[in-house]
Structures are given as structure tokens and as C-alpha cells.
Amino acid sequence: MIEFRHVDPTLVPMALLLEADPSETCIRAYLNDAYCLAAVVGGEILGVCVAKETKPGTYEIFNLAVDPLYQQQGIGSQLLSALFPRLKKLGVAVVELGTGTFGYQLTFYQKMGFRVASVEKDFFTDHYDEPIFEHGLQHRDMLRLRLNFADL
């Protein structure tokens, strides 16, 4: 049975975080003071969602990762479903995140209620040392997605 619990960011395996973000430098930058919700089975962290306050009433999800052996089993959806009420209790009204302009992640987040808010041109080419490819296409621009709890 999966347990969802708040964990210290230093307890999350870097290898897991790298599943969702290929830059250890970027990961280390946002882990400080982050809220980490983990999916745990038998003491092992199978998935994690890293969120952080960016302004009063708004948190940004910086990382949502599931161990490749456990992907496509609904753990990511369950993590977000467990995260939302916890953030609401903290007084959060809006959750934001950034993702590529194509790929399964975009569909996943839209199914969870996120809507496109803006586009950051050349984000991935400007902020990552190595190009990021998916299905043979290079990610260049980042979509900023937003979910307002009042809309749910």
C-alpha cells in the first residue's frame, strides 16, 4: 500500500529527481526550503513531488518524478491528488509549473486540471547545458501551466 508523506528534501534520492529534471544544478537550487511529498512503499520512496512557495498564495511544482519501474501505475496522479489538499491547508490558492510544449507530461498535467498560462521562449535552450530531446524533437520553449483551486 502506498503512503503519501511529507519528507525532508535531503532524503529524496537524486537519481529519482533526475528522472524529471536532467540538471542536478537546477534541482539543488530549488530543493532548499521546498515542500516534498513522497509516495512511499515499505520505506522506499517510489515517487516524489517537489513544490515551493514562489509568492504568497502560490506554489510552483518544480519536480514530479516516479521511479521508472513504477511509472504508468497512477502514482504521479495520486501524488498530485494528495498534494493539493495539503497545499490548500497552507493557504495556497494557485499552483503553477513549467513543462515542455509537447509530450506526455503536458497531457498529464492538463488532465489534472492545469491550464496554459504563458510561454517562456527558449527556456530549455537557455537554462540547460545539454539539449533535451523527446521523441526525436528538442525541447526549446517552456509552457507555464496554472491551476486555481477555486476553479476545481
pLDDT tens, residue order, the chain (152 aa): 999 999 999 999 999 999 999 999 999 999 999 999 999 999 999 999 999 999 999 999 999 999 999 999 999 999 999 999 999 999 999 999 999 999 889 999 999 999 999 999 999 999 888 999 888 999 999 999 999 999 87
Burial class (CB in 10 A: 0-12, 13-18, 19+), 128: middle
Please report the DSSP string for the chain in residue order: --EEEEE-GGGS-HHHHTTT-S-HHHHHHHHTT-EEEEEEETTEEEEEEEEEEEETTEEEEEEEEE-GGGTTSSHHHHHHHHHHHHHHHTT--EEEEEEESSSHHHHHHHHTT-EEEEEETTHHHHH-SS-EEETTEEE--EEEEEEEGGG-
The predicted structure's pLDDT at residue 135: 86
Radius of gyration for the alpha carbons in the chain, expressed in angstroms and rounded = 15
- What is the sign of the dihedral through the CA atoms of 99, 101, 105 and 109? positive
Please give the span between the terminal C-alpha atoms of the chain, in angstroms, as a whole number.
27
Determine the pLDDT at residue 31.
96
Q: How confident is the model at residue 127, as a pLDDT?
A: 87
Task: Note if the pTM is more than 0.85.
Answer: yes
- 148's grid cell: 486555481
Q: What topology is assigned to 3-151 in CATH?
A: Aminopeptidase (3.40.630)
pLDDT of residue 53: 97
pLDDT at res. 34:
97
For residue 99 the three cell numbers come to 513543462
CB 45 within 8 A of CB 59: no
